[in-house]
Chains A and B, each alone.
Chain A
Amino acid sequence: AQSVTQLDSQVPVFEEAPVELRCNYSSSVSVYLFWYVQYPNQGLQLLLKYLSGSTLVESINGFEAEFNKSQTSFHLRKPSVHISDTAEYFCAVLRAGNMLTFGGGTRLMVKP
């Protein structure tokens, strides 16, 4: 069975500081990994995904994540956060049949 663990439920950070949101997964088969973002009172938006190839994937708004098979991790990073990045971030792994298993989420709180 596949599962996803997000180690931090909340991450407070000051504006323009770097941030890392941690995600570990367990899977005995090849994995497809995703990060979704959820702004207050909204649905989920895809931030980035790893399917194959380069282990470093980037989003259009400055986030990046690195797939590390040996550590079974897919941590999300941004070198300089903005107030507008305040949101809930979910790591997910794709199971067979295109079904997503999500972690519990990390609330990123960017302070001025």
Chain B
Amino acid sequence: ETGVTQSPTHLIKTRGQQVTLRCSSQSGHNTVSWYQQALGQGPQFIFQYYREEENGRGNFPPRFSGLQFPNYSSELNVNALELDDSALYLCASSLSKAASQETQYFGPGTRLLVL
């Protein structure tokens, strides 16, 4: 039990639609990272938010965007869904972006299926 929760657990969308995934971090954790895990692969870094601002981004197009709120919750938004967006989306929270020793605590993930 990491104290990180995600909703919904499962989601089915069709191509072209938009989706919002939600994450609630551990209390006091001001950094949240989002990862995409395609079936049979390791997680790929999407982006990271620190104190409500984007702090870094992986190789994902602008239709992947995010928000972080003062209450330690965050969102991942994906516009114009494509079939290849089908994956498990994981969020991870940590205390600080500055301290490399900080452990990232992962939520259980949201499984998105795009038809």
Contact = CB atoms under 8 A, between A and B. Distances in A.
Interface of A: 4, 6, 32, 36, 42-46, 49, 51, 90, 92, 94, 96-105
B79 interface: no
Given A43-B2, A43-B106, A102 B43 contact: yes
Interface of B: 2, 4, 6, 31, 33, 35, 40-45, 48, 55-56, 58, 90, 92, 94, 96-109
Determine chain A's interface SS by DSSP, over half rule: strand
A44 B90 contact: yes
Given A97-B48, A99-B58, A102-B42, 16 more contacts: A6-B42, A32-B101, A36-B106, A42-B108, A43-B106, A43-B109, A44-B92, A46-B103, A51-B101, A90-B43, A98-B94, A98-B96, A100-B35, A102-B44, A104-B42, A105-B42
